[in-house]
Structure formats: structure tokens, C-alpha cells
A and B are shown apart, each in its own frame.
Chain A
Amino acid sequence: MYKILSKITLVPTLHEFVIEAPRVAKRCKAGQFIILRIHEEGERIPLTIADFDREKGTITIVFQEVGKSTKQLATLNAGDSMLDFVGPLGEASHIDNYGTVVCVAGGVGIAPVFPIARALKEAGNEVIGIMGCRCKDLIFWEDRMKDACTELRVTTDDGSYVCKGFVTDKLLDLINERGKENIAEVIAIGPVPMMRAVANLTREYGIKTIVSLNSTMVDGTGMCGCCRVTVGGEVKFACVDGPEFDAHAVDFEEMMRRGRIYKEEEQKSLEKYTNKSCTCSCGCGGAK
């Protein structure tokens, strides 16, 4: 069992857990993820490692409530435990001294970007962070991001905080200010449409861009092929070959189509959960 040491609700449907998992904390690196399972009937949920403390043996995850499993995860509190927690999975981010790098984070993507930005800064890069959310109420970890980046630019889609605009607007401003040749690399993590928009923009300018793909996963060890994505015409397994890939080579359309495979079932599962009209005979009274 893996114990939750602390829980912070960052915005109403977004939570931060610090979890005791010394095996994972010992060797994990920025860019890697874990898979957890809440209970015996649960599915395997992949989440990015948002932070870690090797000494304390803890892992921080930040997750958004989107469906049954993440909603149920959100009902857990400090002191509760989950059944399974495995990692670190996936390849770590390539950290080197590139010069100036831009870390673009959208929505919940702020959490996975944070450790990458920090590692890049520690490696001597000038790290310019761009973080954006739909509105002011959804902004989180601004302080952490400020520390992790050399410079941080914040934006909201509706203009309710700092300024109005998408992260791609901010990125375009930056490219114009600095000149494309002065940006060594862009790392973008967030909703797929956002990553695709960033990829389309930087492709025009020929700036190397990395995205982290959250395709649907089961085992996360390269055994099932559920997470396969097409990158540069080749089939890759996001869980072991990635999750980070060259943004300009990713087939985002295919990835989005594959992300919708279980829409109907996910809806059904969520309805059953929120209606608590569970008909199973396990005596859970709808809790599962």
C-alpha cells in the first residue's frame, strides 16, 4: 500500500498528492511518470511525476478530475493509501545545457513541466516559462514555476489574470523578441490541441520542439501496445519509447482519435459512479 502524506486541492477539480513511494523516488527523473491503482477493481491510471524528494522517499502528483477514476482518486485524503503505485516509467527528459529553452505549460500541464524546467535551469540553461490556463481560478504553482524558470510569463484565455491570450500568442511574442535562432528548444506539455498548436507554430520557425504524449495506457511497460503513436511515420509505444517525442513528427490526429476509443464506456462508468446506482454484489453501495 502506498500512503498519501498530504493533499492540497489546488483548484476545485485539481489536486496535489504527496505519496510515500521510496522505490520510485530513489531513481526517478524529470519527464517520467507513474501508474497507480486505487483499489482491487480499479484501472491503472498514468500520472506524471510532478516532483520528488529522494531523502523523504516521496513523489508528488497533480491530477485533474476528468472521469470516474480521477474523481474517485480525489475522494482520498492524507492518511489514506492506494493499492498500487509503480514507477518511474518512461524515458526521462533529455537534460543538457542547450542555451535558451522555452517551457510551455497549459492547464494541468504545468505540473509535468515544472520538474523539467527546474532540471534545465540547474543544467545552466536560460529557461523561459510560459504558462497558461483558461481563467484566473485555474492557475496553480505560479510560485514554483517562478523559481524553476529564469523568467515566467503567465496568460489566461479569458484575460482574467495578468493578460489575455493563448500560450501560443506568448510564444510568438517571444520568438519575435528574441529571434528564432536564439531559442534552442521548446518543450510543450498540456492538452493535445495546445501541443499541436505549439508544434504548428514552431515548425514554421524551425525550432526544435518536444511534447509529452499522454496516450491511453494499460501496463506502461511496453507489453500491450495500447499507447502506440505514430511519430515520423514509425509506430512508437509512448510508455517506453516516450512519453516525450519530436512535436513536429507526431501524428496528433491519430492520437486524438485513439484517445476517444472508450468515450462511451468512460461515460457509463462515470454515470454509474456519480449516480451511486451500483448494482454489483460486492456490497460497495456504489462506492466503486
Chain B
Amino acid sequence: MTEEKKSKKVVPTKYPMPHQDAAVRARNFEEVALGLDEETAVLEAQRCLQCKKEPCRKGCPVEVLIPDFIKLVAERDFAGAIKKLKEKNALPAVCGRVCPQENQCESYCTVGKKNEPVAIGRLERFCADWERTQGIEVPEIAPSTGKKVAIIGSGPGGLTCAADLAKLGHKVTIFEALHVAGGVLMYGIPQFRLPKEIVQAEIETLRKMGVEIEVNAVVGKFATIDELMKEEGFDAVYIGTGAGLPYFMEIPGENACGVYSANEFLTRTNLMKGYKFPEYDTPIKVGSKVAVLGGGNVAMDAARTALRLGASESWIVYRRSKEELPARHEEAEHAEEEGVKFAFLTSPVRVISNDEGWVTGMECVKYELGEPDASGRRRPIAIKGSEFIMDVDTVVVAIGQGPNPLVPKTTEGLETNKRGNIVADPATGATSKPGVYAGGDVVTGAATVILAMGAGRVAAKSMHEYLSK
């Protein structure tokens, strides 16, 4: 009741986040959102009502001590604030940037009932960025337990699990298939949304905590999980291999030159720094008119990347309407501001190419929305005779990813479901194989950074119990 009363006096809107100008940023790879300065952060923190019941924490998969850290920001104790944050979240600089806060912590905020919620994500980012300028503090490590743990995959889930287990005194080795650690944070989410230097700074802290990171290590190829446990003496294993297998539309012409999976498009650009070609050796080619198929975060990232690589037109082609876009609201809005165009209720039926095999167009069909389906969203229905040709020379397929089958295929006794996801107990992360735990996208299917982190944390806790037995 008192909270309700107070909320009337509160500053009704979030203090604005400074951004690079849309027209400028649409052509560079620098970060879009620039971050709050100290003064603004303190003012924003003062919008928080310090609710006794902490409703916001319910919306956070890792239960960040939200009111506590915000209070410290309001008191200008930034060092204290970041310490508080890190009690629950190993990657605040990342989450502050990419969490879908509007559906999570901020959606439960009391202030948000009548006004705009407290900008929890922005404050989180502020604290983490502040800490980076001071030098990141390495957490305390418990005395060695003598137990060895292998983490497969260095995405946010694997990193969180590694950090938690290292703190408890276990010897942790991360095996990563690619040449850098970070998973989607490095190869998928673009530089302009999540600078790679920030991800690497967080990973550096992990190294300082004694976590060993072996890159160029594809588990299932150089060794199986059974071999790691039997021959290399790992007492427990966490599988966090993500959902990296790109789906295609399976329409005619999809192997034409100029059709990419979003993974390839983004990997060439981010991981391989194709946007700096020829200074970097990996090429990336974008035509002048790009169609991105899909409506999620991945699609927004690809469409915005296409503009930055020099495309004159970049289209999101999505089967449903604007209301159903699965992307974060902020991302779709940023994309639109930058000039990305939207073809809603539209779906491709074939890719058209010339004699040399290059894309010259895409035949599409128009849809209308029918009755809601099982997911509660209205089902799109193709309109007969509505076929038309979209004039494009590049197509990026961003309709989703599944789990890579490599680890399940090479691990005896590891149960998977019919979609190929590893089956793990949500309460413990335990799989059907003793000593082997799993979490993140490989279990849930493509989800979010913070959910993967939450799963890594849950698994770490039960792995610790298993190892202490």
C-alpha cells in the first residue's frame, strides 16, 4: 500500500539511455547504446522504491539481489554495488546489455505498474562497466577439493557453471570447439550490441580464478565424454554446447550463392571479423538488397548487420504480424530506427538465381492471421494466388537453430528427446548419465543468455553436492 503511494511521486520515465545517432550507427559496428553516466545512474537508482517483497527478483532467473545493488548505486557505492551483483550473476556486463529485461526483472517492478519500471538492466550494465574501468576483482576461491570438472562449451551457461565450481575449489577445465571462448556471445550477438572486448574481459576473470580454457577442442572428436572421465580423470561433466545447428527453410534454391544461414552470416562478421576484411582474412559478401527470414533476435541482428556491411536495403521477412515478433521490443525498434524494413505476413516459397547460381530474387506468398494455435499466437494462413517476387540479391535464413548432435551421438547412455535436446532435470541439471549434467540451449532449445546462466548455476550446485559425496 505504501509502495503504491510512493510510486506516484516517482519520476515517471526511465532516465534516457544515450545512443549513437541511428543514421550514423547503422553504418558502423560501434556499440549502439552508450551507457549511463554516474549522475544519471544515481538518479535512476533513486527511482527504486526498495520494495520489501522484492517482486523484481522473481523475474530474474538467477535472482540478482536487485534492490540491494540498486540501493548501493543510489548511495554512490559502486564498488559495493558490483560486488552485490556478482553474488548472483557472473556476467553482469553481458546481462545488463542483452537480457530481455522487459519480460523478466523489469516486468515485475512495482514502479512499472503505473510508470516505466526502474531500468534494472541499465543499472546492472553501469555497475559492470564502472568496474571494468577500475580493474575487475577476482572472487575468492575455496581451498582445492582435488576434484576435476570438465565443462563442454563456453557459452554463458558453461561460463557460469565454471565460475561457480571454481569458487568452490574444484579444478575446472572448459573445452570449447571454436578458437575463442564465449559461445553465442562471441560468434552470434554482434559487436554493436555486445562488444567482444567486454565478453573477453569477463572470461579473463575466469582464467584468473584458475579455470583452464582449452579452445580448439571439439568434444566427441578429439575425445568423448567417457574418455574424459575415464582417461583424463574428470569426476563430473557439464554439457553446455548450445543450439548451434542452423535450420533452413527447405525451399527450392536455398543453396544458391548469396543464401546464408544467420549463423554463417554472423560468424563471418563477428567471430572472424569479416567486417574488417581485408585487414582480417575472412571475407563476407553482402549484396545491395537483403532479405532476412525470421523475426527473432537473431533475425534483427542479421538485418542490422547487413546494413552495416553496406546493403542499401535490409528487409525482415516474417510470417506473422508485428505484434507476434519474437525479438526483444528494443531490438526491433532499434532495427527500424536504423532503416531496416519489415515485410510482415510474408513467407518465401523459393529462391531464384541466375546462370552462375547467384540469388536474383525470392518468390514469396502473403499470409493472413487465422485462429490462435497451441502457442496462443494466431496461426498464419497462406493467401491463395498472392505470390509475388521480392527483388533481393542476398538471403539470410534466421528461422532458428537446433542442438548440435555431436556430443549426444558420441556419448553412450545420454538421453535426448525427439528434437535432439539433451534431457536434464530442471531442478538439478542431471542427465541420464551419472556424473554428467547439462543445461542451456542444448537442453531447452534456443532461449536466452540468462536462462542458460541460471541452468549453469543450478547444475553447479548439484555437481558440487555430487562431488562432495
Question: B321 CB to closest chain A CB, in angstroms?
Answer: 28
Chain A: interface residue count, which band? 35 or more
A165 proximal to B (CB < 8 A): no
Question: B115 CB to closest chain A CB, in angstroms?
Answer: 43
The 8 Å CB contact of B222, one of A24, A68, A254, A258, is: A24
C-alpha spacing A68/B356, complex, angstroms: 24
Tell me whether A87 and B222 are in contact (CB under 8 A).
yes
C-alpha spacing A24/B221, complex, angstroms: 9
- Chain B residues contacting A24 (CB-CB under 8 Å) are 222
The residue on A at minimum CB distance from B218 is A221
Say whether, besides A87-B222, A225-B248, A262 and B179 are in contact (CB < 8 Å): no
- Chain B residues contacting A85 (CB-CB under 8 Å) are 216
Say whether, besides A27-B221, A27-B223, A230-B255, A86 and B179 are in contact (CB < 8 Å): yes
Tell me whether B222 and A27 are in contact (CB under 8 A).
yes
The 8 Å CB contact of B281, one of A26, A43, A240, is: A43
Pick out which of these stretches binds chain B: A148-156, A179-187, A265-273: A265-273
C-alpha spacing A139/B268, complex, angstroms: 36
Q: Which of A138-197 contact B (CB under 8 A)?
A: none
- Chain B residues contacting A266 (CB-CB under 8 Å) are 283
- Chain A residues contacting B261 (CB-CB under 8 Å) are 224-226
A129 proximal to B (CB < 8 A): no
Pick out which of these stretches binds chain A: B71-79, B271-279, B366-374: B271-279
Say whether, besides A23-B222, A224-B261, A41 and B248 are in contact (CB < 8 Å): no
Give A241-280 as 1s and 0s: 1 = Cβ < 8 Å from B's Cβ atoms. Answer: 0000000000000100110111001101100100000101
- Chain B residues contacting A99 (CB-CB under 8 Å) are none
C-alpha spacing A282/B246, complex, angstroms: 35
Tell me whether A223 and B285 are in contact (CB under 8 A).
no
The 8 Å CB contact of A280, one of B268, B279, B285, is: B279
The residue on A at minimum CB distance from B246 is A225
Q: Which of A74-89 contact B (CB under 8 A)?
A: 83-89
B312 proximal to A (CB < 8 A): no
The residue on B at minimum CB distance from A39 is B281
Tell me whether A269 and B404 are in contact (CB under 8 A).
no
Tell me whether A86 and B217 are in contact (CB under 8 A).
yes
- Chain B residues contacting A260 (CB-CB under 8 Å) are 257, 356
Say whether, besides A222-B404, A258-B357, A41 and B218 are in contact (CB < 8 Å): no
- Chain B residues contacting A41 (CB-CB under 8 Å) are 273, 279-281
C-alpha spacing A288/B273, complex, angstroms: 14
- Chain B residues contacting A84 (CB-CB under 8 Å) are 179, 215-216
B347 proximal to A (CB < 8 A): no
Tell me whether B264 and A44 are in contact (CB under 8 A).
no
A53 proximal to B (CB < 8 A): no
Tell me whether B178 and A219 are in contact (CB under 8 A).
yes
A37 proximal to B (CB < 8 A): yes
B263 proximal to A (CB < 8 A): yes
Tell me whether B277 and A265 are in contact (CB under 8 A).
yes
A47 proximal to B (CB < 8 A): no
Q: Which of A216-235 contact B (CB under 8 A)?
A: 218-219, 221-226, 228-230, 235
Question: A80 CB to closest chain B CB, in angstroms?
Answer: 18
Tell me whether A262 and B283 are in contact (CB under 8 A).
yes
Subset of 11 A-B contacts with CB under 8 Å: A86-B216, A87-B221, A87-B222, A219-B267, A223-B246, A223-B267, A224-B246, A226-B260, A235-B255, A268-B278, A278-B279
Q: Give B contacts to A, CB under 8 Å.
A: 177-179, 187, 215-218, 221-223, 244-246, 248, 250, 254-255, 257-258, 260-261, 263-264, 267-268, 272-273, 277-283, 285, 356-357, 404-406
